[in-house]
Chains A and B, each alone.
Chain A
Amino acid sequence: MFRWPCHRSGSAISFLGQGMTDISEATSRGPDIRDAYLAQMRAKRVMNLILLIIFVALLIAGFRTADGRNAGGFWNGLPNILDFPADVIGEAIERAHLMPSYLIEYFPSLIETINIAAASTLLGGIFGLVMSLLTTRGLAPVTWLVGPLRRVLDILRAIPEIVIALILIYLLGGGPVPAMIAIALHTVGALGKLFSEVNENASLKPVEGLASGGANWTQRMWLGVVPQVAPNYLSYALLRFEINIRASAILGFVGAGGIGYDLRNTMSWGQGKFDEAAAIFVLLFLTIVVVDQLSSALRNRLTHGARISEAHP
């Protein structure tokens, strides 16, 4: 797959960025070290090639296995891939005059989806903040709790939202609350870990200063640590908000309210309601794109702003 150019001179090898010292030694101490080095390089290349072959073989075998276990095969399905989008777009164009009314009709569901994402990001951020302070070595008030609480975060991160959402739907009935709780729990796990990594880089001087003034743990954290890390926190939380909007749409699809739920209803209706499905697709697509753009602009400003305040302390 790759052609490996042959290197005869030391200068040609030096740009590999590896073994430069070996080469300079090689030129001064005779050709045997150079030969050894080249042999080593060759061995490494053979190793890389073998790894590459294994990887490609795994990929092909994996594809064939997945293809075999799928209900419809890849090659059979490929010609049909545009059928469904064509149906949807066809119906949407046919009844284009209804499109604005659909957009208005499904707007409240969209708001619900966004609300689920926003509320769960906020809840997850608040609890994630507390968890992160409890799991950062050096900041945690109870040192022996650091390990167990980190495991708790790992488990919260590992459980997919859909699991908790489906169980809560069984207990609480459909609606936005199960989705909100499920996404919030996952967010606590994800943000707790990221926040705690940020905390590790926070300067301890303000904390020590506050401690010398007799501040308790909450005051030390709230006034000494949080102001230092707030821009990073916000940036991660915004990124999480983007992810949570997608998650909230997916959870709606399994019965937790919002625009995903409407999407499933129109989809299971089938032909005749594809124009409504198209309207929902449009709403969802626009929301995701707009939120992505807004949040990335905001995040850029946050990190940029942080740099300025560093330059002018």
Chain B
Amino acid sequence: MTSATLQQSAVRNFGRKRIMAFAMPAVIAAYFVYIFVAFDIAGLSERVNVSNAATLVSDVYSYKTHVTQDNRDGTVKIAIEGERKGAYPQGTGPDWVTFAEQTVIDLGGGHVVTFGDRVTYDVPGYGTISAQPGAGGVNAMFPPGDMPDYISTSKNRLMVVTDAGRFTVTRNRTEVFKYTLGWELFFFTLDSPYHGMGPAALVSAAFSGEAGAIWSDFWTNRMWRHSEVAWAIVETILMAFLGTFGAAIIALPLGFLAAKNFTPLGGLRFAARRVFDFLRGVDGLIWTIILSRAFGPGPLTGALAILLTDTGSFGKMFSEALENVDEKQIEGVASTGAKPLQRYRFGVIPQITPVLLSQILYYFESNTRSATIIGAITGGGIGLFLTQAIITQKDWEEVTYYIVLIVLMVMAMDTLSGWLRRKLIKSDEGGH
């Protein structure tokens, strides 16, 4: 090769590289333009539900207390998140509500709501809004001047939304929402004697023999359902465990069938490989649907769905690993007069164990995540709790709690499988 032709080819290569350097980004950009149009991203700004976003964010770090007056008989109910499970006993409430002749709700910062036949809301810097709900509507009255845009009113409905809270009057009900930082009932519900106790008081109560009662009040908390959530986490991990290791046990013998050097029969090998392709191709989603028809919702369905999909993946990987084993070790074992089973046990298994174990453990940790997703579809484990909480569209603090738990669970499984991998596979290269 002369230097001239070398130079020519180098120039050609450079030219091609230069074109590629511009063509690739151009193609990607063109694809994104297509996606922008096909997914109607321009119209997204109209579809974004800003008020949903605001509820979500404020719900995550705060809770709201509903103070409700029945306008027909004057009874007042106070409940956290407006749920029966979070209701204060009649005649009691948080310290910002005073019960006298009239119920007075101090929303803080000078915002005061007074209940009664005539309900009033003092808004600092604006004046007193009042209403007299009855047969003719809510009969709202406002201070003179322009009406601010945080008030919306009609004949039968008055709503005031300020930073301090939300005030709604209809003919039948007057309702005040007050947002407070934190997750009030996370540890104990209102009917527990330990609600509102500080950590120090709790510890001293625990040492004076109430530890069991404290634990049971926490564990059976009806609002946050700690024991059920813990079970759901266990179920999710169980799905991943059964699915992954069950698949590995089934796939190992099948992997021998699909490996060229162990199965001389081409037909058998072909069949085994097609089974693996089928199991993987049908995909977890479809397996989940089919299995949940037969077994109903629950962790077993999820475990079996993972098992079927992963039998396909493992079978393929195992057979590839088996095709790469070193024949010399098997020959060595055979030369000592070992029978076929012993040859596999001592010539093959020690070679492939590190590879297989590392793959199985890797799948185990990623299946913890899949089990959450499958649980959301088929109805089992923490995935079910999560979808249920999201569907209510108001329990975002629970959604946050579950997400935190899921992330911790997945990270814990990551750590565990990494530790096991290092422990079981002592060779320095096997751990990746």
Contact = CB atoms under 8 A, between A and B. Distances in A.
Given A246-B285, A288-B283, A11 B336 contact: yes
B332 A162 contact: no
Nearest to A64: B300
A237 B27 CA distance: 17
Contacts of A122: 28, 31-32
Interface string A229-241: 0000000000000
Count chain B CB atoms within 10 A of each CB in A158, A172, A254, A288 and give the residue with the most.
A158
B345 A2 contact: yes
Interface string A135-159: 0000000000000000000110111
Interface stretch (A28-36, A39-47, A76-84, A213-221): A76-84
Given A70-B300, A81-B291, A155-B407, A285 B282 contact: yes
A12 interface: yes
Interface string B22-50: 00000010011001001111001001110
Contacts of B410: 157-160
Contacts of A58: 241
Given A15-B332, A158-B406, A163-B406, A70 B298 contact: yes
Contact of A70 (B40, B281, B295, B336): B295
B377 A285 contact: no
Interface stretch (B141-149, B190-198, B383-391): B383-391
- Which secondary structure dominates where chain B touches chain A? helix
B285 A260 contact: yes
B238 interface: yes
Nearest to B237: A62
B227 interface: no
A260 B421 CA distance: 36
A204 B259 CA distance: 40
Interface stretch (B72-80, B89-97, B112-120, B368-376): B368-376
B128 interface: no
A246 B283 contact: yes
A110 interface: no
B220 interface: no
A175 B46 CA distance: 14
B373 A115 contact: no
B393 A170 contact: yes
Interface string B256-290: 00000000000000000000010011111110011
A19 interface: no
B303 interface: yes
A16 B295 contact: no
Interface residues of B, number: 74
B357 interface: no
A166 interface: yes
B283 A175 contact: no
B296 A70 contact: yes
A158 B369 contact: yes
Contacts of A262: none
Contact of A115 (B38, B48, B333): B38
B219 interface: no
A84 B294 contact: yes
B281 A285 contact: yes
Interface in A53-70: 55, 58-59, 62-63, 65-67, 69-70
Contacts of B347: 15
A103 interface: no
Contacts of A175: 39-40, 47
A160 B369 contact: yes
B299 A249 contact: no
Contact of A246 (B35, B284, B338, B386): B284
A242 B367 CA distance: 16
Contact of B377 (A63, A167, A254, A289): A254
B185 interface: no
B393 to A, nearest CB: 6
Count chain A CB atoms within 10 A of each CB in B281, B386, B403 and give the residue with the most.
B281
A275 B155 CA distance: 53
A49 B145 CA distance: 86
B342 interface: yes
A207 interface: no
Contact of A69 (B40, B235, B336, B383): B235
14 contacts: A15-B333, A16-B346, A63-B242, A80-B293, A115-B35, A119-B31, A119-B39, A171-B48, A172-B49, A175-B40, A176-B39, A253-B377, A292-B277, A292-B281
Interface of A: 2, 5, 11-12, 15-17, 55, 58-59, 62-63, 65-67, 69-74, 77-78, 80-81, 83-85, 112, 115, 118-119, 122, 154-155, 157-163, 166-167, 170-173, 175-177, 180, 197, 246, 249-250, 253-254, 260, 263, 267, 281, 284-285, 288-289, 292
Interface of B: 28, 31-32, 35, 38-41, 44, 47-49, 52-53, 56, 235, 238-239, 241-242, 245-246, 277, 280-286, 289-291, 293-301, 303, 329, 332-333, 336, 338, 342, 345-347, 350, 369-370, 372-373, 376-377, 379-380, 383, 386-387, 390, 393, 399, 403, 406-407, 410-411, 414, 432
Given A66-B242, A253-B285, A263-B285, 15 more contacts: A11-B336, A12-B336, A15-B329, A15-B336, A16-B346, A16-B350, A17-B350, A55-B245, A69-B235, A69-B299, A70-B300, A71-B379, A83-B293, A177-B41, A197-B432
